[in-house]
């Protein structure tokens, strides 16, 4: 069965990538839905209906299936090489995977609200929300690639600095948008 390990790992990575693609794009669609909800009729209804359809297709045709398949292939990999579960870096990685699922489930809740025309977030809050998956992705990739080669303290400092840079970038983008609303 170990002969299939590279194929299973490849499929796991492919579905992780498509899962993240969905998680990166769905908040962007949420931003557009929130902004469309503030437009006058008939633009509000036309844009709203189209964006709901796009979000529904992305969520149920790409994002959810990718999350499930990435998880199934990950479990299969852990069955093939169970000693990974004994390694500290894997415990940290699985913690980030739990955070990723929490992010995914919260995004699902927001998705359902917006599908029912319930708007509880501003477009700026949703832009900030969009950075959550980015931070998780950076954390997991660096953790898996460098594993034990990096001091944990430096890793934590790096993630904090990345988060700060993302927040500063968000604030800068917000200022640019306020000066020029067509960007």
The answer on whether 12 is annotated among ligand-binding residues is yes
Q: What are phi and psi of 160, to 5 degrees?
A: -65, -45
Residue range of the domain that includes 162: 2-179
- Indicate the pTM of the whole model: 0.85
The alpha-helical segments, DSSP class H, found in the chain are: 5-36, 43-57, 64-80, 88-115, 123-129, 131-146, 152-179
Q: 55: which 2 tokens?
A: 């979000």
Question: Mind listing the pLDDT tens digit for each residue in 53-107?
Answer: 999 999 999 999 999 999 999 999 999 999 988 888 888 889 999 999 999 999 9
Bond prior to 42 in cis (omega within 30° of 0) = yes
pLDDT tops 80 at residue 154: no
The number of beta carbons lying within 10 Å of the beta carbon of residue 133 is 22
What's the confidence (pLDDT) of residue 172?
Answer: 86
104 carries a ligand binding annotation: no
Q: pLDDT class for 149, splitting at 50, 70, 90?
A: low
Domain count for the chain, please give it: 1
């Amino acid at each position: 069965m170990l002969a299939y390990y590279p194929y299973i790992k490849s499929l796991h990575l492919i579905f992780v990538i498509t899962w993240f693609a969905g998680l990166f794009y769905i908040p962007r669609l949420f931003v557009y839905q929130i902004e469309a909800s503030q437009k006058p009729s008939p633009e509000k209804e036309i844009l709203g209906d189209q964006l709901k359809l796009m979000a529904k297709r992305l969520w149920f045709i790409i994002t959810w299936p990718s999350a499930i398949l990435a998880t199934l292939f990950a479990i299969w990999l852990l069955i093939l090489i169970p000693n990974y579960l004994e390694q500290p870096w894997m415990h940290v990685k699985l913690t980030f995977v739990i955070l990723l699922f929490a992010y995914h489930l919260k995004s699902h809740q927001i998705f359902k609200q917006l599908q029912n025309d319930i708007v509880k977030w501003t477009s700026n809050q949703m832009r900030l929300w969009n950075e959550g998956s980015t931070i998780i992705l950076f954390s997991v990739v660096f953790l898996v690639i460098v594993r034990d080669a990096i001091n944990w303290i430096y890793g934590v400092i790096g993630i904090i600095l990345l988060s700060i840079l993302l927040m500063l970038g968000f604030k800068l983008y917000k200022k640019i948008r306020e000066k020029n609303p067509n960007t």
